[in-house]
Amino acid sequence: MQRLIGWMLKRVLLSILLACFCPIWAQAATEVFQVDFIPMNEAKAAVQMQLSPQGNVVIMHSQRKLIVMDDDAAIERVVRLLRQIDVMAQQFSTRVSISSHRREQASGIGVAAVLPGGWGRISARDSRQQSNISQQYQLRLQSGASGSIEVGQVVPLRQSVRAWLTGFGIVLEQQTRLTPVTGGFDISIRAAGENHARVTIHPWLKQLNNRTDAAAIRIDIAEASTELTVPLGQTVTLATTGGDAQQFATALIAATSQNSDQQLQFQFKVDSEH
């Protein structure tokens, strides 16, 4: 009799437990979400935060899909979240003009704003000085992405240029053999409020290698980097004013000019493509 009563109590307890948990699992669902724009690992991390403790999410990298398993409420949260975050990044285009100017010509140029890295922003009325060289470039970038332009070869013939490059380990000051070195800029653009963009400019040097199986050695000139916020559609002109930015400019200009007293001007305009 006692065994029968114990068995019946176990059945009652099992029935209560099933009554408590079955409705929850009855609502469990599996949904497949297509991710079109953002990185898959970022999408998974964001979705994971919307799930219940019993929920799970799996990435299908080959098809850019997320398989989400959870209750209906969590699935609905995931739907709302992905609608907000899986969107195409803003697209920008920028036209860049790089030119050199003799310092005596540039001495009367007004600097409208002093920028980090040895740069100054030139007022619009002073940005049409006659230049010795001018190179044009165009980049199309997503917001937050970076593009690179190679300006030209650095010819370390001058003692001052060789001494500066030696500080980066690119050439030895007393070395007689010329080492092929190029220089350029990385440019990144990101949205910065309505009708504005934040532009970051990173100068770099690259030591080439005559061996085909050896990679080039790239060095970022962090001390000459600068950034600023600009209105979309407005031409902006920067000029080197000192420090590593001016040393970098002198190294680049030395390949095309015998005049060591040169200033580099970096003119650009950023437009939104949608």
Summarize pLDDT for 228-239 with one digit per residue, the tens. Answer: 999 999 999 999
Q: What is the pLDDT of residues 146-177, one digit of tens each?
A: 999 998 887 766 777 778 888 877 765 565 55
Q: What is the pLDDT of residue 26?
A: 44
| Total-model pTM | 0.68
Q: What's the mean per-residue pLDDT of the chain? A: 80
Nearest to 54 by CA among 67, 37, 68, 34: 68
Is 212's pLDDT higher than 70?
no
Cα 170–174–175 angle (5° rounding)?
60
The pLDDT > 70 percentage for the chain reads 73
Nearest to 188 by CA among 140, 136, 145: 145
Where does the chain hold its CATH 3.30.1370.120 domain(s)? 23-85
Contact 199, 188 (CB under 8 A): yes
> Both tokens of residue 146?
């970076």
Separation of alpha carbons 130 and 14, rounded Å: 90
> Both tokens of residue 244?
């590593």
Q: Is 23-85 a domain of CATH 3.40.50.40? A: no
Q: What is the pLDDT of residue 217?
A: 81
Is 251's pLDDT higher than 80?
yes
Confidence of residue 25 (pLDDT cuts 50, 70, 90): very low
Separation of alpha carbons 176 and 166, rounded Å: 13
Q: What is the pLDDT of residue 56?
A: 93
Separation of alpha carbons 193 and 98, rounded Å: 27
Is 108's pLDDT higher than 70?
no
Separation of alpha carbons 104 and 97, rounded Å: 21
> Both tokens of residue 185?
């800029």
Question: How, if at all, do strands 262-272 and 235-240 pair?
Answer: antiparallel
Separation of alpha carbons 150 and 98, rounded Å: 11
Q: What is the pLDDT of residue 221?
A: 92
Is 274's pLDDT higher than 70?
no
